[in-house]
Amino acid sequence: MSDLFLLVLAGHLLGDFVAQTDWQAANKERSWRGDVAHVLTYHLTMAVLVIPVWHDWSAVLFLTISVATHALLDRRWPTRLVLGTTGSKGFSTVFWGVIATDQALHLSILAISFYWLAR
């Protein structure tokens, strides 16, 4: 199971940082078109790594959860809402603060959903 999560982690890092185009990065926060393009690129990258070794219905559910949550979080307002709710509203105005929180939320969702679905 831990080997499979390493593929999920690699898929996340490659999909969120390497495969994402400049246009997607610049537009995903304010445009559903940019967000959807990024989410598709991200999950194609993830699927290429994960599906060959995890190919049952729980993998489909895992990817579905990831698609939905990733698309929502990358609009940035949910990340800013979380920071405001936890008393860190100032951190939400710092560029890297929002990115760090976005990554913490993405990775936490991946880890928790993987834990429950990859058993």
Separation CA 115–CA 95 (nearest Å): 30
Q: How many domains does the chain have?
A: 1
pLDDT in tens, the chain (119 residues): 789 999 999 999 999 999 999 999 999 999 999 999 999 999 999 999 999 999 999 999 999 999 999 999 999 999 999 999 999 999 989 889 999 999 999 999 999 999 999 98
Distance between CA atoms of residues 101 and 95, nearest Å? 10
Q: How far apart are the first and last CA of the chain?
A: 8
Domain that includes residue 57, residue range: 2-117
Kindly report the pTM of this predicted structure: 0.94
